[in-house]
């Protein structure tokens, strides 16, 4: 995704080889330090990178403070991990003043987060430029938790990404949690009825209702990937197949027959 959305910025692997050769190692050690004290930082950084890239490309515009910036928009109010990027930036400025962009720090940190949770590593092209514009109004580009498959596909297509990219990137939710307020409507009075979302596995429903009681604490966190929320693996897709998806938009990926065959491909890519 990064390679697609930063096309034209002149990114390449080893961009800082001569100007700041320790850039990647400084970011990696910083992420690892924060991860040791709080494992939730890994999914937080991965999510932040996605939210950054999906609006104006991977330009760190999600980090910009101010009124009506991306950071203040509803889809981004739950983003966490800013202190990790700040920590890495401080260290990099001490080692290589004015060289490494925040956009590259975030891209490297996302990769390191996947590796720390057991996922594959990859070479990260660097050389991104930090954006100067950040508008809350543009976060409507981000896919929402109730969106139809067609709407999700349209949003990804607008970024030069296809349906397989959509499925694979959703698989990033194999780590991390969400709040009850974003899916509890599936458990009670779904679509104005007195029943729950029929796509939820019948044996899984009582577990979710126990975690998120009706009229309970909407901020309570629940793992996206039940039983494997701290490991980057393919069990997230297995859970969707078995009707154990948390967000409605995720479960729709499995129930939409047109996407079913792509899950086998995604498993191969993520393992």
Question: So which residues are the catalytic ones?
Answer: 51
- The answer to whether 141 is a known ligand-binding residue is no
Burial tier of 111 (Cβ tally within 10 Å: 0-12, 13-18, 19+): buried
Q: According to the annotation, is 157 in a ligand binding site?
A: no
User: Within the chain, what is the greatest distance between any pair of CA atoms?
Assistant: 64
Residue of 131, 114, 46 lying closest to 80 (CA atoms): 46
Is 130 annotated as contributing to ligand binding? no
> Helix, strand, or coil here: 198?
coil
Residue 19 annotated in ligand binding: no
Comparing CA positions, the residue from 5, 78, 94, 20 lying closest to residue 44 is: 78
Between CA 241 and CA 221 the distance in angstroms is 22
103: buried, middle or exposed (CB in 10 Å: 19+, 13-18, 0-12)?
buried
| Cα(16)–Cα(96) distance, integer angstroms | 10
Phi/psi at 156 (nearest 5 deg)?
Answer: -70, -40
Rg of the chain on CA atoms, in Å: 19
233 annotated binding-site participant: yes
Q: Any idea what DSSP says for residue 77? A: T
Q: Is 234 annotated as a binding residue?
A: no
Q: Is residue 61 annotated as involved in ligand binding? A: yes
Contact 48, 103 (CB under 8 A): no
Residue 10 burial (C-beta neighbours within 10 Å; 0-12, 13-18, 19+):
exposed
Beta-strand ranges (E) seen in 138-220 are: 177-179
Q: Assess contact for 235 and 244: CB atoms under 8 A.
A: no
The answer to the question of whether 59 is labelled as a binding residue is yes
Binding-site residues for substrate sit at 143
Residues at the binding site for Ca(2+) are 52, 55, 57, 59, 61, 70, 174, 225, 233
**Which residue numbers belong to the known binding site?**
52, 55, 57, 59, 61, 70, 143, 174, 225, 233
């Amino acid at each position: 995704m990064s390679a697609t959305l930063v096309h034209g910025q002149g990114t390449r692997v080893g961009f800082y080889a001569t100007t700041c050769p320790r850039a990647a190692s400084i970011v990696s050690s910083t992420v690892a330090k924060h991860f040791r004290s709080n494992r939730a930082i890994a999914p937080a950084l991965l999510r932040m990178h996605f939210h950054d890239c999906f609006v104006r490309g991977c330009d760190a515009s999600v980090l910009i403070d101010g009124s009506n910036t991306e950071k203040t928009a509803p889809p981004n109010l739950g983003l966490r991990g800013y202190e990790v990027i700040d920590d890495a930036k401080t260290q990099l400025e001490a080692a290589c003043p004015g060289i490494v962009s925040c956009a590259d720090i975030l891209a490297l940190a996302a990769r390191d987060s996947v590796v720390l949770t057991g996922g594959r590593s990859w070479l990260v092209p660097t050389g991104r430029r930090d954006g100067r514009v950040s508008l809350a109004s543009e976060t409507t580009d981000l896919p929402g938790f109730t969106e139809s498959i067609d709407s999700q596909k349209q949003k990804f297509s607008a970024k030069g990404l296809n349906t397989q990219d959509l499925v694979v990137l959703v698989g990033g939710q194999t780590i991390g949690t969400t709040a009850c307020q974003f899916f509890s409507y599936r458990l009670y009075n779904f679509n104005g009825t007195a029943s729950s979302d029929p796509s939820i596995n019948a044996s899984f429903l009582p577990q979710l209702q126990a975690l998120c009681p009706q009229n309970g604490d909407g901020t309570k966190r629940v793992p996206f990937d039940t039983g494997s929320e701290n490991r980057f693996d393919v069990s997230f897709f297995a859970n969707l197949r078995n009707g154990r998806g948390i967000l409605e938009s995720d479960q729709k990926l499995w129930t939409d027959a047109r996407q079913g065959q792509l899950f086998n491909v995604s498993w191969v890519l993520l393992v």
